[in-house]
């Protein structure tokens, strides 16, 4: 994917996200910016991480998550 296409897709995604999700996206992007380049590259190039990340995104979109209250109850 070309750099301009990536930027265009990011711009389009930003324009349709609600404020709460924009904050999450901003936090994630700022973490990427702060993270050591080697660590970021290692994560991005780790097929296991990317697979897990994509699966987590799918689960969030489809509502297949565990509520914090349920997790807290088990602790």
**Which residues fall within 8 angstroms of residue 59, CB to CB, at 6 or more apart?**
65
pLDDT for 15: 93
Number of other residues whose CB lies within 10 A of the CB of residue 11: 9
pLDDT exceeds cutoff 80 at 67: yes
pLDDT for 35: 63
> Residue range 30-55: average pLDDT?
82
pLDDT exceeds cutoff 70 at 8: yes
pLDDT exceeds cutoff 90 at 4: yes
Identify which of 13, 19, 15 has the alpha carbon closest to the alpha carbon of residue 57.
13
The model's pTM: 0.43
Annotated domain spans of the chain: 1-34, 37-75
């Amino acid at each position: 994917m070309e750099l301009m296409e990536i930027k265009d897709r990011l711009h389009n995604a930003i324009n349709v996200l609600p404020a709460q999700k924009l904050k999450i996206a901003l936090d994630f992007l700022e973490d990427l910016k702060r993270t050591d380049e080697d660590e970021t590259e290692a994560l991005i190039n780790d097929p296991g991480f990317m697979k897990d990340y994509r699966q987590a995104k799918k689960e969030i979109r489809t509502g297949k998550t565990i509520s914090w209250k349920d997790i807290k109850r088990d602790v």
